[in-house]
Amino acid sequence: MTLSGNRSWPNDFLVGARRGWYDLDGDGHDELIIGAGKGGKMAVFRGDGKGGFTPWEAEAWAAPATADLTTVLGWTEAGEARSLLAGLAGYEDPATAPAAVVQFNMAAGAPQRRALLPSGTAVELPCIGPLAIADIDGDGSLDFFVEDA
C-alpha cells in the first residue's frame, strides 16, 4: 500500500487528524502515524524502507478517540523504550472526555496505552494543543512542552 494519490481515506483520518513520522518499532524505518478526530481511530502504518507502508493493527490504538488528537509525537527517554505521545483536546466535552496526554509505550514489545497528563499531576488544562520535545534550556535533557489551546 502506498499513500501517494490515495483518495479513499475514511473521513475519520481527514477531519481533525494530525500526522507524524517516527521509528516506533526500532527497525530503522519511520512509521506514519495519523491521528483522528473525536470518534475516529488513530492509524499507524509500518514503513518498509522502500516507500511502502502496511497497516499496524494494535489494541492500544484500536479504540475510537474520546477527543480530537491534537499531536502525535515520537519520544524515547534515555534508557527507555520508544513510545508515542498523543494529545487529546478535551474541549468538546470536558466532563466525559477531559484534555489529556496519552503514551503508547513499546516496552513490552506491543504498544501499551497509559495516561500521562492529567494523571498524577497538578496540571489541569482545559484543552491540549500542540506538543513538542526539545532541549529548551541547553542542559542536555529533553523538555516536554504542552500547549494549553
pLDDT for res 12: 42
SS3 122: coil
pTM exceeds 0.75: no
Distances (CA, A) of 125 to 47, 62, 129, 137: 34, 25, 10, 23
pLDDT for res 94: 62
pLDDT for res 124: 63
Distance of CA 107 to the CA centre of its chain: 16
**Within 13 Å of residue 48, how many CA atoms lie on the same side as its CB?**
9
